[in-house]
Structures are given as structure tokens and as C-alpha cells.
Structure 1
Amino acid sequence: MDPDRRRCLHGLLAGATLAATPMARAANAASRGADLDVRDFGAVGDGRRDDTPAFQAAVDALPESGGTVRVPAGNYLINPLRSVRLRSRMHLAMDADTRLVAMSNAAPRAYVLLLQQVQDVEVSGGRILGDRERHLGSAGEWGHGVMVRGSSGIRLHDLHISRCWGDGISVGGLSGIAGLAPLPSRDVVIRDVTCQGNRRQGLTIGRSRHVQVLGCSFLDTGGVLPGCGVDIEPDPGGDARDILIQDCLAQSNQGAGIQLYERVRDVTIRRCRILDNRGDGILLRAAQGGVIEGNEIRGNGLRGIAVRATSRDFHLRDNRIGGNSGALARRRRDPGERGGMNLDVARGANGIRVDADSRPMR
């Protein structure tokens, strides 16, 4: 064969071989623009291989202007000790049949997806499955499906997050960086998300501003306290404010359906169904300012709505409250409390307005 022709054929074969490698596929995908596929970066989705590096490579390959990382259907093993660390101005778009499966680990704190100090991030579609039954340790309660920390402009929607060692989703602030003041998360929208069977909380909202939780379900939480469907409980040194929880279902959780616990203000709970939780339906402790309206609150093991002393300035209207109390009804009530087991307002709670249409029903 002619030497020049032989060299040409060898070059073509080498080029074809190179194009088949994950590195080459990644380069080709990146060159097509800001719409990338994790398979072009080596993700397999067979439920056996660690796909964390491939996911991270796809995220890191996005240009500064951002873009979309697509995840086709499959079972992708993710190492929560490393996390998939999302970046600003991106969309992680998962197929409805995508599952991100947390690899077993013994860590008290680990996250499948981490959104830390980023802006304008969207996560949609698919499922996140924690390692609750496969966890290798016994300590800690912070093995979360999604951790949002010190971030803004976040949209989480059409997700199913289950069986996490800690929370399905945790939204909070970022602190301890070079002596700076805590950085709360801001402008977070969580829509059409189901958190089910997680060990600590369905959703925790910590230091944050302007959080909307819309059309979500928080089910079967329990294993370690507080065990709430939704717990708004910022750490000391910060607060949570301007929170809307609307058209949600909180059912069969070990703790309260929805809990507002200290350093919380300006919360609206509207048109939610809060059913059959072992704790209170809604618990307010040292919460300030808000509206609880149009909710159905039934069958909870303790009180329907419990307003503890030091809570103030809440308006309760148009709620359907009945069939609560369970075991608590058999206990002797604190004489400093007024109302019944469906609605229980401590005397030290000030500015609590209860309209007639929000009083307990038989």
C-alpha cells in the first residue's frame, strides 16, 4: 500500500478511536454549546458504576454564561461524600425515569446535590434515593438529598426525594467564611416536589428570605427528631422570613406536619392539607407574624394548631380543624393554655386572631 495512503488510513482510524472516548465526546458536546448530556462525559446509569465524576465534569464544562445539563433515564450512583456540586446559571434537567442513588456511606453529613453560594439554578425531574436502609453508620442526621446553602434564585420542581439519612431538602444560610456575616438563601421556589420516607425532615428551611413551597407533598418522615413534614427552624444568629407554604400535603409524619420554631417571621400557610401526623398539625413556637388560612387540619396525634407562648401576631381564618388530639386528649392540660386539642393557644401568645370560621369543628 502506498505509504501516504497508509498514513491517511491510520489517521482516520485513530480519529475514530479518539472520538469514541469519553474525553472526546465531552469536548464535542461542549463545542455544541451550553446543552450537555452527562453520557457524553462518561455517565453510564447502570446502578453499579460511580457516576459522580461524570456528572461533575458535565457541570464544570458549562461556559460562564451557563446552560443545561441533561440526565437521561437510568440509575446513576452518586457519592454523597463528594456531592454533585451545581454551579450558577445552570439547569440540571433530569428525565422522569432518572434516579440519582446515594452510595452507601457512614458519614453524619453528606449531600447528593449541593447548591452552595450559587445563583439562578434550576433542578427538575427525576428521583433522588437516599441510603437510609444502606447507611453504614449510626451518627448524624444530615444526609440530605438536596442541600441549598447561601444561594439565590433557586428553582426545584417536579422531583421525588425519598429515604434520605437526613432531610429530603434543606435550605439554609452559609456562615463561617472569612469572618463574614451569615449569608442566607434567597428567592427559592420549591414546586411539585414529593419528599417521602426521609429520616429527619421532609423539608428544613433555615436562614433564608423569600421561600415559596407550592403544591408539594411531605410524607412519612421519621426516625430521628424532629421528624416534621416541614420544619422552619433557622440556627441561632440568623432568621427565616417571608415564607409561603401553599397547596401542600403534610401527612403521616412522626413529628408536626408543619413546624415554625424560633427566629421565624412573616409566614403564610395557605390551602394545605395537614393530616394524620403523630405530632401537632401546625406548631408555632416563638414565631412572629403570619397568616394560617384555608387549611384542612385533621387526625393529628397531638393538637390541630398549637400556638406556644412568645408566638405573636398570627391571623387564623377559614381553617377546617377537627378530629385531632389522640393521646394528648387523655393527658391533663396546662391551665395556662386556652382552647381545646384541635386549637390550643397559650395565654402568653399575643396578637393571635382567630376568626369564627377557623374554630374547631366536630
Structure 2
Amino acid sequence: MSSPVGRRAFLRHTGLATAGVAAAAAGLLPARQANAEEQRVPNLPASFYDRPGLEGMPRIDYESMPVVNVRDHGAAGDGQTPDAAAFHRAVDALDAQGGGVLYVPPGHYLFTPPPAPTREYWRRQLTNIHVVGEGESSTVVFEQPRIEGDTYPNVAGWALWDSVNISIRGMAFTWSPYQLSRNSHPHYSLTLSQQDRAQFIGVVLDQGQPGLWMNQGNGYWVVDCTLRNVSADAIHFESCTDSVAAYNYVENCYDDCVANVTNTRSTPDPSNLTGVRLVHNTVVFVPWGRGVTLGGAGQITEHNWVESVGNAGIFSTVGGFADWPAAPLYDSVVRDNTVIRGNLAQREDNAYYRFGTGGFQAGLALIMEIRGLTLERNRIYGSQVHGMAFGIQGWYGISGSDFVVRDNDIQGATGGGVQVTNNSTVAGLDLERNAMLGTTTGSVLVDGAMTGVDTAGNQVSQAPVVTGSVDGDFDGFTVVDTPLTYRDVYQDFRQAGDETGWATAPALPVKLPRHTANVRAFGARGDGRTNDLLAFEQALASLPADGGVLRVPAGRYRLDPLPDHDSSAFTRIKHHLLVSGRRNVHLRGDGAESVLSFGSADHQGLRFLDVSDCSVSGLRLELRQQPSVRRNRALLEFSAARSCVVDDVTAVRSSGPGIRIDSSRLVRVTQSRVEGAGTYGIEVAASRQVRVDGCRVSDSRDNAIETSWVGSIQCEPQYVRISGNRVDGTREGSGVGVVGGQQVVVERNEIRDTYLPGVYLYERCSNFPPKRIEITGNRLSATNTGRLTYVRGAISLDGLSEGRTSGDIAIADNTVDGTTFAGVWVGGITPISSTYSVLDRLEVTGNTFRRVGTVGVDIDDDQRTHIGELVLA
């Protein structure tokens, strides 16, 4: 017998309220009667299917199906009891009825690593089975393989191979503990192969490597799904037909985010791979891979937003990887897409790329053979090198024919608008009515050979430059002095040179500006019930251009985001309260009695964007309801900021970091507290000359304090000092995480009770490998003691790559008291990482080790061969 499902299962989350389409979900579900009908799952409303891009999506009649509850077959959902067997029994019960709904009520359903040689946590061939949960409250948790368990070259969470007519709706999947490294063994979350009809609706995937992998088959629909913090591809079609990814939200993923890839080993003729559409997706923060990729024949790529991407925002390739033979891309359309700040990784301070001859070189990059491609009405803004690249210098060129490039808007590229590389040939190009403004070199750079060219109506800031050959009409360009409509608030940070020494840290101003705006005077009640956001905005707007004080007296101020008040230009990152383009603005409260209570886990709390000489002090920031799955939003963020201070701020229960410093210079976070952060406690992202000192961070989910090169821009962290802080416990992460950097100092911190190492130097991917890192004078107790830890030291160096300059690491005068494995470990091959650390120099001297599980310093013989100079004392 199945238990009644009840309508509340779908009133809270229906699989619609993700990827920025919450409005489509409001009021669309019918009320259910308290009778036998309660045992049926309601269908998705007609308005769900009526959205552009979902034409032809098969409608699943959930209401007609029998329902089986996994709890009735022994699933505990307590996050501690393995539940795979219960899911098998529940499917068996549905199979006996010819299929139906596998209902997963709220809970955390644990799936543990299988015994070797099995590599799938749950493998099942499903027919006419539809898994339905209640959104993020119905979460499947995959445990990472233990360091002392079996080591697999790859594992899969749910492997639903050769299934027919299935769906997963309103479910969440996550991995534990924290792990975010591209250079690691694959840990697939959901993988399908040779599928016939599958739908994924409102599915949330958090971590894993990769996320949703669909290899061959047809009839895949991925709609309204959210994927965050995935270490490889997020949504991956491989040699698929008649498949759609639409209205999905992808954030912080380390390879292709929404991908249509052709495996030319299994499918040597991609002309048969038709009917793939990637439409209305949002992609933000792509540290390693590409935003959207093209493959097969007749692909439609429309209305996607791609923001802050390390490599190309949109990329064409068919084959070309490892031993895959090349094949053409046929007759595809790329239309009405937006790419903001593409190709960010191509910088001089990235020791992995060869600047100018490596990387992807454009916001939209085309390589290999293309037979028919229309690029129309796309907006490509702020590319690190070129706007569009036909071929990649130093890698693959392009051999293409029948191109239409019209009505595109390219602004603010640091190179040219369009480049045709010297290893490329183009036969047949219509270049019409494009704008190429604010380029620093020629609007069109032709180093290769082009024939059959027709140009007309193009407006450019600079004339084309031809060093190769052009056959046809190449006169359709008008040089104009038109100002840009795109403003890149990160431009100065992206173009700044390297730091050369420690700068004086900023401090709270001794004398505040004369003008003060008390939020109470503008109508803020501070009663914890009234939305005070408009009063805060009005008080902020009253401050003069030269700055002032926003006074927040004691009270509980409820701040809930308002439509048309929560967005900024050229970004999909939303906020509660925004301070933008200001200088000398200071938020002052009365300490713990001045509470800002934020209502949305999907919005930054206080966001300071493009500001200078600002500060926040004497405030307590809270998120009223913390989600169970990472959301990556901070309670306080400084982004594109200069000379700013955070002092005496408490941040509690964030959905992401408590405090985040992003793509900024000269910022200090001091004497502040972060409690129960949803990801990192304090995150320093792609910033320089930052100090975090005298802070206390407790019970963060991931690393308590984190510094890396990944932010709204990508750049090597330089001159970052993390000193005199106290870390009291992490739920899944380390005490201090360090990802790359030049002159990053971790000193005199008290770190205790961490799941992963007390100090953890690791690599998210090969970009920006470490240079000079110092770990000195820290006191670590009971660190790296998590049951599923995957590295072997209280201080761990894990899989650090070699660039033009390899790491120079000093680990000196630290005290380690109590750890499961070694005091210091350098590696290495583990169930997670797949490469040894490559270092120029490593110094481990003057450290004290007590109550270590193995040895003081653990560096195996193979690892030692990857270290140029090793000093142990």
C-alpha cells in the first residue's frame, strides 16, 4: 500500500520555482481534496509548457499513476541510514504495477559507496518510473569514498542506463563532504546512457563531478533545474538527439555548463544528431570550462545568459578531444544570447595559459570544421580578448563555410571584435549590421584566408586590420565614435598590473562624513515584521555624492527583496540592498542590537558594488531561513571595491558565504564573526591586498576562511593575509582553504574541530597555480578528523599543478595537536585527487606535532620526485 502524498508536497516546490522562473510557479497548482485523490501527484500546469522553448515537450500524466512512497519500503531519510535498498524495493513495487510515481517525501536519503568493483551507488534500469519529491527538502546525499576505503577511477551516484520513459521532478542531489576540484576522479551525480525519453524538472544538483550526464539516446528534457558547484560538466548531452535544456540555472561549475558534445568515436557522423535546443538558460561563474557548447546538426542556441566565464562563453566543437576524431558542425543557429566577461582566464598572471597563444581567446569561439552557422543578435560584452574568434591561435583553427554574422553587439573587448586566425579558412561570410565598439585593436582582425565575403552596415570603433587575405566585399564598415552602453565595473581590476609589495591596510575612518541619514527618519520601523527595505534605500539615496553615514540604530530590520529593486545591470546576481557606484559611504549600527534580517536565500544581503572608501561596522546580519542545499549568496559582499573595511559585523546562517570579498583591492575584514555559514565563512575571491584578521568563524559548512582566484573576474590572489583568526568547527570543510596565490600568508590562527584539514592548499583546476604561500605560527587542534576525509594531513597540500612558475610553499612553526592522519601531508593520489603536487620549493620546518595518527610529515617517494627543492627540519 502507498501512503497518501498530500497536496503540500507540491505547494512548496513543484519543480517550477528555479532558474529565475518563480513567477511561472505562483498560483498554478490546484488545491486538492482530502480524499482518495490525495494519493495522486498533480500534473504540471498548462502554463509550465506554454513558455517559449518548450514546444513539443511531452506532457506526463502524473495524476493517472499509482504512487509508491519510499518510506513505506524502509527508507529512513535521516541522513545516516543507507537507503539504496529501500529505493530498489520501492521500484520493484512499481514495476509490478507497470510503473508509476516513486514518491520521495522530505528527508535526507543517504547513498554510500558500493563495495568494489561496483562503481554505481544506485544502478537501475527504469521503465515508466517517475521519481517525484518536494524540491530541496527531498535530498539524496552521496558520500564521497573514504580515504581508507576502495579507490575507484570513477563512480556514479544514480546510474539509470537503458531506461525508458522516466522523469525526476522536484528532487535534490548533493555530495558530502565538501569537494570542489576539476583535477579529481569523476563522481557523476546522475548519469544516463542509451536513454529513450527522460525528463528532469526542477532538479537541484549540488557538487559532484560532473552533474547531469546524458550519453546517447533521445528525448531528454532538462527544464528548470539548478546546478551549483559542480567540478566538471553541469548539463551534458553527448551524441543525443531531439533533446532540450531550457530555463536552467548553472553556477560555479568547472567545465561545460550547458553542453551538446559529439563523441565522434561512438558517433562518427554528427549530421544525424539533430533536434538539440539549448534555450533560456542562465550560467554564472564558470571558472574552467565554457558556458554553452555546440555539436551535431541543426542545434538551436537561443536566449541564454552567460556571465563571468573562464574560457569561451559559447564554443563550437565536434570531436577534437583526446583521441576523438574531428567532424563538422552542421547548420546551427546561435541567436539572442548574452555573454558577459568571457575568456577571463586568459591573463598574464595565469601561469597555466600562454597569453595570446593559448586559452580560448574570445567570448564566442569557433574551431574545426563548420558547415553553416548563423550568429545573430548576440551581445558579447567585456571579453578578456576578442569578441568572436574564428579559430584559436596556437590550437585549432577553423575550416568553415556559409556563415551569417549579423546584428551582433560586441562591446568592450580588450582585443578585437572578430578575429580570423592565421590557421583558419572561411568560405562564405555575410557580415552585416554588427556593432563592434570599444575594441582596443582592429574591429575585425583577419590573419587567415576568407573568400566569398559580403559586408554591410557594420559600425566599428576601429577599422578592420587584414594581414591575411580577403576575397569579396570588405568595405561595409563605418568608423563611429559611439559611446558604449555596456559599463564594466571590473575593468580597472581586470587590467591592473601585479602587486609588488604589501600596501597599508585600510582602517575605519577616524572622522566620519558630516552628513548622516538615520533609517528611522525615513520610515524604517525595526520591528522585525515590516519590510524596511524602501526606507533603507531612501536613506541611502539621500546621502550626497561625496558620501555620508547610513545610521542603523538598535532594532530588527526586516529586509525582503522587491521586484525591480533587486537587480543590477549586466549581472544575474541579485541583492536585497545595493550600494553601487558610491564612495565614502559608511553603514553604522549599534552592534548586536542592530539586526538586518534577510528574507531570500537567493539574493546577496548587503551588496557593495563598484565602491571605494566605504565601511560596514556594528551590525548583525541574519538569513531568516537557511536552505539545506548550498545557494552561494553572501549576507555581506564587497564586489569591485577599493579601500573598504568590515569591522565588528556578525553574519549568521547565510545560504553561501557569511562575508564575501570579490574582485576587489585593499579590503580589510576585522573583528567580525560568522556563524553557521551555508558555504564558506569568509570568502576572498579574485582579490588583492586583502586582510582578514581578528575574526571568529564557527560551524561553517565548507572552509571557514577561503581565498581563491575565482570571482566575478579571475585573477591571481596577491598579498592576502589571513592572521589572528579563530576557527571553531566546520561541518564539511577545512579551517583555511587556499587556492593559488602570490604572497598569501596564513599566520597565527587558532583552528580547531575541522572536518577536513586545518589548513588546506588545494586546486580547483589548473588555472592560476600557487606561487608563494606561507603557513606559519598557526595552532591546530582536532583537525582533519571527519569520518569521510579524503586527504591525509592536518595541513594538506593536494594536487597542486605546475604552470610557468610552480609553488614555493613554506610551512613553519605551526603546532598540530590531534589529527587522524599526519601533521603535514603533501600529495597526491587519493579517492578524490588524481595528480601529485608539483612544486619548485617546499620548506617544512620548526613545526610541533602531538597526537598525530600516523607521522609528523608524510611525503611519499613518488611525491618527492615532483618537488624541486625540499627542506625538512
TM-score range, shorter chain: 0.7 to 0.9
**How far, CA to CA, are the matches of 2:367 and 2:386 in structure 1?**
19
Cα gap change, 1:188/1:308 in structure 2, threshold over 3 Å: closer, same or farther? same
**How far, CA to CA, are the matches of 2:430 and 2:122 in structure 1?**
45
Deviations 1:87-141 (A, max 9, x none): 1101100112111000222433222222211111010112100247369xx8532
- One of 343, 348, 355 as aligned partner of 2:425: 348
Moved more, 41-50 or 81-90: 81-90
**How far, CA to CA, are the matches of 1:210 and 1:311 in structure 2?**
21
**How far, CA to CA, are the matches of 1:211 and 1:151 in structure 2?**
11
Match of 2:537 in 1: none
Deviations 1:3-39 (A, max 9, x none): xxxxxxxxxxxxxxxxxxxxxxxxxx9xxx8310000
- One of 358, 361, 366 as aligned partner of 1:307: 366
- One of 52, 63, 68 as aligned partner of 1:36: 68
Tell me if the contact between 2:229 and 2:252 (Cα under 8 Å) persists in the aligned partners: yes
**How far, CA to CA, are the matches of 1:360 and 1:220 in structure 2?**
29
Q: Secondary structure at the match of 1:310?
A: strand
Q: State whether structure 2 residue 226 is matched by structure 1 residue 149.
A: no
**How far, CA to CA, are the matches of 1:246 and 1:65 in structure 2?**
34
Q: State whether structure 2 residue 149 is matched by structure 1 residue 117.
A: no
Cα gap change, 1:200/1:342 in structure 2, threshold over 3 Å: closer, same or farther? farther
Tell me if the contact between 2:294 and 2:316 (Cα under 8 Å) persists in the aligned partners: yes
Q: State whether structure 2 residue 363 is matched by structure 1 residue 323.
A: no
- One of 60, 66, 69 as aligned partner of 2:92: 60
Q: Secondary structure at the match of 2:241?
A: strand
Match of 1:94 in 2: 133
Cα gap change, 1:328/1:271 in structure 2, threshold over 3 Å: closer, same or farther? closer
What is the percentage of aligned positions where both structures have the same residue? Answer: 17
Q: CA deviation at 1:84?
A: 5.0
Tell me if the contact between 2:386 and 2:416 (Cα under 8 Å) persists in the aligned partners: no
Tell me if the contact between 1:78 and 1:84 (Cα under 8 Å) persists in the aligned partners: no
Match of 2:239 in 1: 207
Q: Secondary structure at the match of 1:312?
A: strand
Tell me if the contact between 1:311 and 1:349 (Cα under 8 Å) persists in the aligned partners: no
Q: CA deviation at 1:359?
A: 5.8
- One of 278, 294, 311 as aligned partner of 2:336: 294
Q: CA deviation at 1:196?
A: 1.1
- Correspondences of 1:233-244 after superposition (within 5 Å): 233-235=261-263, 236-238=265-267, 239=270, 240-244=273-277
Q: Secondary structure at the match of 1:116?
A: coil
**How far, CA to CA, are the matches of 1:205 and 1:188 in structure 2?**
9
Match of 2:280 in 1: 247
Cα gap change, 1:214/1:353 in structure 2, threshold over 3 Å: closer, same or farther? farther
Q: State whether structure 2 residue 159 is matched by structure 1 residue 159.
A: no
- Unaligned segments of structure 1, at least 5 residues: 1-28, 174-184
**How far, CA to CA, are the matches of 2:285 and 2:103 in structure 1?**
34
Q: CA deviation at 1:258?
A: 1.3
Q: Secondary structure at the match of 1:228?
A: coil
**How far, CA to CA, are the matches of 1:125 and 1:108 in structure 2?**
30
Match of 2:110 in 1: 77
Q: Secondary structure at the match of 1:244?
A: strand
**How far, CA to CA, are the matches of 2:420 and 2:252 in structure 1?**
27
Match of 2:609 in 1: none
Q: Which amino acid aligns with 1:266?
A: G
Query: TM-score w.r.t. structure 2 length?
Result: 0.33
Cα gap change, 1:275/1:350 in structure 2, threshold over 3 Å: closer, same or farther? farther
Match of 1:168 in 2: 211
Match of 2:297 in 1: 265
Q: Which amino acid aligns with 2:278?
A: I
Query: Which structure: greater helix fraction?
Result: 1
- Unaligned segments of structure 2, at least 5 residues: 1-38, 40-64, 114-119, 146-150, 319-328, 345-360, 399-404, 439-483, 485-873
Query: How large is the RMSD of aligned CA atoms in angstroms?
Result: 3.0
**How far, CA to CA, are the matches of 1:351 and 1:54 in structure 2?**
59
**How far, CA to CA, are the matches of 1:295 and 1:195 in structure 2?**
20
Match of 1:189 in 2: 221
Cα gap change, 1:259/1:41 in structure 2, threshold over 3 Å: closer, same or farther? same
Q: Secondary structure at the match of 2:92?
A: helix
Q: CA deviation at 1:156?
A: 0.4
**How far, CA to CA, are the matches of 1:242 and 1:352 in structure 2?**
25
Q: Which amino acid aligns with 2:75?
A: A
Tell me if the contact between 2:163 and 2:196 (Cα under 8 Å) persists in the aligned partners: yes
Deviations 1:38-85 (A, max 9, x none): 000100111111011101111121135210110011111123633152
Q: CA deviation at 1:212?
A: 0.3
**How far, CA to CA, are the matches of 1:209 and 1:328 in structure 2?**
30
Tell me if the contact between 1:282 and 1:306 (Cα under 8 Å) persists in the aligned partners: yes
Tell me if the contact between 1:309 and 1:349 (Cα under 8 Å) persists in the aligned partners: no
Tell me if the contact between 1:189 and 1:211 (Cα under 8 Å) persists in the aligned partners: yes
Q: Secondary structure at the match of 2:121?
A: coil
**How far, CA to CA, are the matches of 1:151 and 1:120 in structure 2?**
8
Give the paired residue count: 307
Query: TM-score w.r.t. structure 1 length?
Result: 0.76
Cα gap change, 1:271/1:58 in structure 2, threshold over 3 Å: closer, same or farther? same
- Correspondences of 1:332-343 after superposition (within 5 Å): 334=393, 341-343=416-418
- One of 54, 75, 78 as aligned partner of 1:46: 78
Match of 1:128 in 2: 173
Tell me if the contact between 1:187 and 1:211 (Cα under 8 Å) persists in the aligned partners: yes
Match of 1:25 in 2: none
**How far, CA to CA, are the matches of 1:288 and 1:151 in structure 2?**
24
Q: Secondary structure at the match of 2:80?
A: strand
**How far, CA to CA, are the matches of 2:198 and 2:430 in structure 1?**
34
Deviations 1:229-253 (A, max 9, x none): 1232232121443210000012211
